[in-house]
Amino acid sequence: MLKIKKAGAVLTAAAMTVGLLLTLAPATAFAGNSAYCSGVWVCVYKNSDFNVGLGYRGAGFSLQNISAANDNEVSSWENRTGTNARWYTDGGGAGTCHNMSRYSELNWMSPFGQNDNMSSWAGNGSC
């Protein structure tokens, strides 16, 4: 009986530790590029792993096209805002929509068939 009680105590402590880590995660989880994406922004990059910044916007920005120079160039992104964002494979919100959820990032879009395909984006909600 004593051993069972001890095991239960250990499990409780482990669960509390996991809970604490999950609580702290949103503020510390970004592996992205803090030098470029230094604000509470949605940031996009020309290359994987948050290399070569192409642009950033604050939370809630309206739908807009990617500039002609950067059209179909984005290969990684991060959303440091508390608002969901999204992007489209064509201009003006046309084509396929993909989410860039709040407090999330994607270091390499290629495995999802999304590489070099972003033509418009918005920071005011998910797909």
Binding site for Ca ion (CB under 5 A): 46, 73, 75, 116
The torsion angle over the Cα atoms of residues 49, 104, 43 and 65, rounded to 10 degrees, is: 110
CB of 109: closest distance to Ca ion in angstroms? 8
Cβ nearer to Ca ion, comparing 81 with 117: 117
Of residues 43, 16, 17, 19, the one with CA closest to residue 30: 43
Contact 62, 93 (CB under 8 A): no
CB of 75: closest distance to Ca ion in angstroms? 3
Contact 37, 100 (CB under 8 A): no
**SS3 of residue 23 by DSSP:** helix
Cβ nearer to Ca ion, comparing 53 with 93: 53
CB of 46: closest distance to Ca ion in angstroms? 5
Cβ nearer to Ca ion, comparing 59 with 66: 66
